[in-house]
Amino acid sequence: MNFFERQARARRQSTRLVVLLSLAVIAIVAIVDAAVWWLLGPHVVALAWATALTAGTIALGSLYRIATLRGGGDRVARQLGGIPVAEDTRDLHLQRLRNVVEEMAIASGVPVPRIYVLEHEPGINAFAAGYTASDAVVAVTRGTLDRLNRDELQGVVAHEFSHILNGDMRLNVRLMGVLFGILMLGVAGRKVLVHGRHARISLFAALLGLAAVAIIVGSVGTLFARMIKAGVSRSREELADASAVQFTRQTAGLAGALKKIAGMTDGSRLQHRGAAEEVSHMLFGDGLGLRGLFATHPPLLQRIQALEPGFDAAQLTRLQVQWWQSPPDGLGEDAALGLLPAVQALPQAGGSMALDPRTVSAQVAQPHQDDYARAHALVSAIDGGLRAVALHRDSAMPLLLGLLLDDDAGVRGLQHEAIASRLGQASAIEADHLRQSHLRTLHPMLRLPLAALAFPVLRRQTRSTLAAFLDTVHAVVHVDDHVSLFEYCLGRLLNARVRDALAPARHVRFGRRRPGNVKHEFATLLAVVAQAGHPDDPAAARRAYLAGMQRVLPRDHLPYAPPIAGVQALDAVWAPLDALDPLAKQVMVEAITAAASHDGRIRVAESELLRTICGVLHCPLPAALEPAPERLLGAA
């Protein structure tokens, strides 16, 4: 099952969630009506009021909780006591976690998420939360940092990244919201008991009856909520385990983490029981200890055996005895095993490669160990000082603007003025300094990964600052009559990432459009891609365009008409194409790859355009594309 099929599956699960919630609400309303009937008899007005109040309480509770979660993943992490991991941390455990998360984000083609640690949780657990990849957070417990070695930590983080990529996060957050409404009646009943004891005796007796009914109904709601979470969660956890293995290309890390959960006293249980109840369906391991019908995760032994079929309960017992006597030390195991990925050399800056459209579409949000190794190579190749600049709150924006500065001194002077008038002279001077000292000679393949590292710092800025920054980016890109391919790509990606992070609930959806409904948008997209690859050869560009159209609309005959606005013509296609059905997006990725690589090679600028298209349309593509076998080409 690939990314696009998983997205389609997630959309079906959203429909299933609505059905299950509706059945639960109907059952709760029926129980309340039955209680009213028993107390008052067949009183129509009373039954109508009971139905309205019960349904209204559930609806208002759900709407309230959904509204409180509009802040995205940060809100969920802080609710559980999460503490953000600083970009410049000196703690070895936190440095290792940040390195693993950053490399996986770059390997999978998503923005680097915010990282949190639940410092007061000794169990081994983790979760990813948010509406979109742009507002995602990854949180791990202190037990995860202390007990897991790098391979095991990588397996856990890869599991959480699969939830980010598969569309599970948005379903998890919505599930938190709608199930809160079901639990509202029980909460209301307990409040009545607490505050009603000071009332008159006769009134208290009436309130006691109402509270008892509310608590009973609330208990029924809790059972329904747990059943819904369990039904939605278990299969997704199995899929996330499989995706993590596919990502890391080894089972030992993930299996080792699961063994330590099963073998240690604290396991994966959370101390914060109230919050654990609400987020149990989004945790890496079971945070509550529920079993059977209410279990949100498959049994640990079953999960381990899916990774290592020969593992049995007797081996688990021996590990429990071993770790009871000497708890594992993750960093110590790293030192003993030498768990550091090898650094690979980057290809030539002017090189190109052949791509296979199906291979590229298979890479979307489905990274492998090779992608992780390439991401490690990219991050390792970024100068340490430059990386520190990207991770600093005050210098991240000048760095990103420095990437957009032109080599021509006249154009760069106009860009300097645009920055100074909006963000101040100091920002303009720093952007120009970074351009001259570091960015002008930066390997082209490092530009977008460097921007990805800066994004978590960027999203911590205030809304007004971000609005001014995006306005500055637009001005810098459009200061002259020529918008280069890279200028457009980075500007559009920054706009999309910031937009998603500022209002994640508004910009997330599963599309339903078919390719036949967006023919002209496809024609514009493929014409721009073809023209970018063959700027001086209209005949070759036309052949590339037709190769792409053959993939997506083989029966239609839309002539090649390169837009006068060039790459800027893409501004009109993003919204319609982002509304495509997930499986239609798969065909789209294959079509643009076929157009870009029609001449047998794809250059860095074209790969950045391909990655921009996928990023804006929420199809995360790894930072290093997989070349067609035996077809890597030399310098162009």
* Tens digit of each residue's pLDDT (9 = 90 or more) over 185-240: 666 666 655 555 554 555 555 556 666 767 777 777 777 777 777 777 777 787 77
Please tell me whether residues 364 and 396 are part of one structural domain.
no
Domain span at 486: 377-498
CB atoms within 10 A of CB 60: 12
Question: What is the rounded CA–CA span in Å between residue 168 and residue 194?
Answer: 38
Tell whether 365 and 382 lie within a shared domain.
no
d(CA 532, CA 552): 19
- Looking at the domain assignment, is residue 344 inside a domain? no
Question: By percentage, how much of the chain surpasses pLDDT 70?
Answer: 83
**Residues 151, 198: one domain?**
yes
Q: Is residue 503 part of a domain?
A: no
pLDDT (mean) for 388-414: 91
pLDDT value at 634 more than 50: no
Q: How far is residue 313's CA from residue 292's CA, in Å, rounded to a whole number?
A: 19
pLDDT range class, residue 341, cuts 50, 70, 90: low
Q: How many separate domains does the chain show?
A: 3
Q: Is the pLDDT of residue 345 over 60?
A: no
CA distance 381 to 395: 20
**Which one is predicted more confidently, 366 or 312?**
312
Q: From CA 164, how far away is CA 173, in angstroms rounded?
A: 12
Residue 483 shares a structural domain with residue 409:
yes
d(CA 161, CA 244): 8
Give me the pLDDT at residue 630, please.
43
Residues 621, 363: contact at Cβ < 8 Å? yes
Q: What is the mean pLDDT of residues 122-133?
A: 88
Q: Domain ends where: 469, 498, 527?
A: 498
Asked if residue 293 belongs to a domain, the reply is yes
260 and 165 within one domain: yes
Residue 110 placed within a domain: yes
Q: What tokens were used for 436?
A: 């001259």
Query: How far does the chain reach from its first CA to its final CA, in angstroms?
Result: 36
Q: Is the pLDDT of residue 51 over 90?
A: no
d(CA 63, CA 176): 11
The answer to whether residues 99 and 341 touch, using CB atoms and an 8 Å cutoff, is no
- Spell out where 80-133 has E strands: 83-84, 114-118, 126-129
User: Could you tell me if residue 350 is inside a domain?
Assistant: no
409 shares a domain with 309: no
Residue 342 domain-assigned (yes or no): no
Q: pLDDT at residue 369 above 70? A: no
Q: What is the mean pLDDT of residues 578-597?
A: 85
Catalytic residue numbers read: 160
**pLDDT of 547-566, one tens digit each?**
999 988 888 888 999 998 88
**Same domain membership, residue 556 and residue 414:** no
User: Could you tell me if 480 and 581 lie in one domain?
Assistant: no
Q: Which residues contact 519 (CB under 8 A, 6 or more apart)?
A: 553, 556, 558
Give me the amino acid identity at 218: G
91: left (phi over 0), alpha (psi -120 to 50) or beta: beta
The answer to whether residues 163 and 195 belong to one domain is yes
Asked if 490 and 404 count as a contact pair (C-beta separation under 8 A), the reply is yes
- Do 41 and 201 touch, CB atoms closer than 8 A? no
Do residues 274 and 150 both lie within one domain? yes
**Gap between the Cα atoms of 154 and 465, Å rounded:** 35
The crossing angle, in degrees rounded to 10, of helices 300-307 and 313-325 is: 110
Q: Domain ends where: 442, 477, 498?
A: 498
One domain, residues 468 and 585: no
pLDDT over 70 at 136, yes or no: yes
Q: Is residue 591 part of a domain?
A: yes
Out of 468, 498, 528, a domain closes at 498
- Band of pLDDT at residue 632, cut at 50, 70 and 90: very low
Residue 311 has pLDDT above 60, yes or no: yes
Confidence at 3, pLDDT banded by 50, 70, 90: low
DSSP 271: S
Residues 224 and 177 in one domain: yes
Interatomic CA distance for residues 39 and 250, integer angstroms: 62
